[in-house]
Amino acid sequence: MQITRLRLTGFKSFVDPADLRIEPGLTGVVGPNGCGKSNLLEALRWAMGESSARSLRGAGMEDVIFAGTATRPQRDFAEVAIYAVAGDDEEVEVVRRIERGAGSAYRLNGRDVRARDVALLFADAATGAHSPALVSQNRISAVISAKPVERRAMLEEAAGIAGLHVRRKEAETRLRATETNLQRLGELIADQD
Ligand code: ATP
C-alpha cells in the first residue's frame, strides 16, 4: 500500500486544513522544534486506528483536537484523511473524525466502518499504526532495546500478519462462547430427561 496524501483539519497544532502529498520513497519531515513534525506522524497513526491516547502524548483521545491558543479558540472536532493506493491499484480513502463528547467515527471510501475494519485494513497491508514503516522519535532506540517478544511483534507487523492474530483472537473468543452455549444446552437437555 502506498500512502499518497494526508489531509488534516483541527488535529493538534494543525488548526487550519492542511493537505500533504506523499511521494513514493522514504519521506522525512524536517522543521524547527515544536512546528508539528511529530503531530503529523501521530495524525497518520491516529487515522489508522490508534486507540491509545497516551501513545499520542495525550491524557484522553479528545486531546488530539486543537485546544486553542491565546489568539484562536479551540475546535470542536478533528479530522484526518489518508489517501492510499492498495496493491491492486485501488484508491482508498480512510477518514477518522472525533468530536468533543461524541467520540471517534471512521469512514472507508465514504462508508461508515468500525475502528477494527480500519486497523485490519492497514495491518494486512503492513502499514498499521504501530508499523515499523513509521519511524518516530525514540523509535530507533526502542527497536534496539526491544525484548525478543516485542521484536517478533514488529516483524509480524512488517510482514503484514498482525491482522491474522487479531482475527484468531476473535475466532477463539467466539469458539469459547459457543462451547459455553453448547455446554448449557447439554445441561438443559439433561434436565428435561
Ligand atoms: P520537536 O522537534 O521539538 O520534537 P515537533 O516538530 O515534533 O517538535 P510536535 O511535538 O509535533 O513538534 O508539536 C508540538 C506542538 O504541537 C506544540 O506547540 C504543542 O503546543 C502543539 N499541540 C499539541 N497538541 C495540541 C492541541 N491539541 N492543540 C493545539 N496545539 C497542540
**What confidence category does residue 92 fall into, taking pLDDT thresholds of 50, 70 and 90?**
very high
Ligand 1 centroid–CA 170 distance in Å is: 36
The rounded distance, in Å, linking the Cα atoms of 34 and 170 is 40
- The predicted model gives 170-175 an average pLDDT of 93
Ligand 1 centroid–CA 49 distance in Å is: 20
Q: Which residues line ligand 1 (CB under 6 A)?
A: 12-13, 31, 33-39, 63, 65-67
Q: Which of 178, 99, 166 is nearest to 129 (CA)?
A: 166
* Full-model pTM: 0.78
- The predicted model gives 59-71 an average pLDDT of 94
Q: Radius of gyration of the chain from Cα atoms?
A: 20
Ligand 1 centroid–CA 141 distance in Å is: 22
Q: What order of strands is seen across the sheet that includes strand 111-113?
A: 18-21, 2-9, 77-85, 91-99, 103-108, 111-113
Q: Report which DSSP code applies to 128.
A: -
CA–chain centroid gap for 21, Å, is: 20
181 is in an annotated binding site: no
- The predicted model gives 55-60 an average pLDDT of 89
Please check whether residue 24 is in contact with residue 2, taking contact to mean a CB–CB distance below 8 angstroms: yes
**CA angle, 97 as apex, 33 and 81 as ends, to 5°?**
65
**ipTM confidence score:** 0.94
Determine the pLDDT at residue 31: 92
- Dump pLDDT digits (tens) for 133-170: 676 777 778 788 889 998 888 788 777 777 888 889 88
Determine the pLDDT at residue 11: 97
3 state SS of 152 = helix
Q: Which amino acid is at 175?
A: L
Q: Does the structure show a pLDDT above 70 at 131?
A: no
In CATH terms, the fold of domain 2-160 is Rossmann fold (3.40.50)
3 state SS of 14 = strand
128 is in an annotated binding site: no
Ligand 1 centroid–CA 34 distance in Å is: 5
From atom 16 of ligand 1, which residue's Cα is the shortest distance away? 13
